[in-house]
Amino acid sequence: MHLLSLALLCAVQATTPVWGWGEEGHKITGTIAQIHLLPSAQQAICKILPSDFKCHLANIAVWADTVKRNPKWSWSSELHYVNPEGDNPPEDCTYGEKGWKNPTENILPEIVNNTGHLFSKTITTQDFALRFLTHYLGDLHQPFHLTGRARGGNRVRVRYQGKSTNLHSAWDGDLIRRRIRTLNNYTSPLPTAPTLPLPPPILAWNKRIEAALQGSNYDPLVRWVVSEGIHGWWANELEDWVKCPQLELQDSPEQIVLNGPPFEDPPNLPVCPYAWSVATHKLLCDFLWSPDFDESDDSDPVELEKPEYAGRIREMKIVEKQLALGGMRLAAVVNAVFGSEEDKLVFGTWPKVL
């Protein structure tokens, strides 16, 4: 993160927001992380964040988008994505093997930089680093932030849910908003009363989930993703989701040198943006960038609502999983930095359903 003067920090003016994930997507990611914070990490962010944010990661999740069009923060506008050289999905998928456009000014080093700033002794530095990191770890899991083709899909005209838009915007918000509108269950608070015939650990987790919700339109989706996805379908994958290969290979430095990736994730920080984003980039070539997408100005919009595209996305729960990945990885980083050793011994990476 660039050096920020106190005057700059205090001079933020209102701007027109341009979202990465849509506002809902970023806040869902922040809420999922909030649910999985260690108690000591929760206490730490309460001390770091201004009171207006109510100690909640969802409440800072879109801040980086709201300020990036302000001239004072214009340096941050190109740090929400990465453009790999030679990347042309789906025909030619490269993710750094040929280098990067603006190699020092993109989302990968910014995630590393802001993670490092969390260790600062200055609360102001920690505050803004946490705001940026919360947002960037959301953006990292929006696939179209990981390619420069057609400006990340902004130049590809599509139709979705009866309206014309562009591919990037459809992914930023339209796919998520449709899921929010059409989710018919989890619309009521989860049961938490001890008189109910549910195991105490389940009741405790329900309380944890409900405590993190803020009466938003996306609350049912958070309940569903956490209850059925994170603690259900993907439960056996969670530890692998947050592993950083460079930390596991610290005892074999020669292997790191010989087989190093196109971006070196830091050996001394609990974050690995390159390793965490490889699978997301691969989705572009698997099927998210359809061969019939046309970036020419006079092209007709391509319909997304068809079985082989939007239908497949829903069937594979891709959007939900990407939001879960971002939230769990954010929780893992915040817990690693701010969690007490006692909490880590008791809970591990994050509190779990026992």
In a domain, 2, yes or no: no
Cα Rg of the chain (Å, integer): 20
**CB–CB of 27/216 below 8 Å?**
yes
Write the CA distances from 72 to 1, 25, 107, 134, 139, integer angstroms: 14, 26, 19, 20, 21
Closest to 153 in 3D by CA, of 80, 64, 88 = 88
Establish if 174 belongs to a structural domain: yes
Residues 6+ apart with CB under 8 A from 75: 2
What is the widest separation between alpha-carbon atoms in the chain?
Answer: 63
Within a domain: residue 13?
no
Query: Has residue 295 been placed in a domain?
Result: yes
Tokens found for residue 322: 């990407």
Give 159's strand partners: 164, 303
Alpha carbons 8 and 274: distance in angstroms, whole number? 30
Per-residue pLDDT of the chain (354 residues; tens, 9 = 90+): 443 433 334 333 333 334 457 899 999 999 999 999 999 999 999 999 999 999 999 999 999 999 988 999 889 999 999 999 999 999 999 999 999 999 999 999 999 999 999 999 999 999 999 999 999 999 999 999 999 999 999 999 999 999 999 999 999 999 999 999 999 999 999 999 988 889 999 999 999 999 999 999 999 999 999 999 999 999 999 999 999 998 876 655 554 445 568 999 999 999 999 999 999 999 999 999 999 999 998 899 999 999 999 999 999 999 999 999 999 999 999 999 999 999 999 999 999 875
Say if 202 falls within a structural domain: yes
| Residue 352 counted as domain residue | no
Burial of 276 (0-12, 13-18, 19+ CB in 10 A): buried
pLDDT tens per residue, range 280-310: 999 999 999 999 999 998 899 999 999 999 9
Q: In degrees to the nearest 10, what's the CA dihedral of 339, 344, 348, 353?
A: -80
> What's the total number of domains in the chain?
1
Is 1 inside any structural domain? no
**Residue 44 structural domain:** 22-347
- The verdict on residue 58 lying in a domain is yes
Say which amino acid occupies 96: G
* Residue for token pair 């050289």: 85
The enclosing domain of 226 has a CATH number of 1.10.575.10
- 8 Å CB contact between 49 and 127: yes
pTM above 0.85, yes or no: yes
Torsion (CA) 89, 95, 101, 103 in degrees, nearest 10: 160
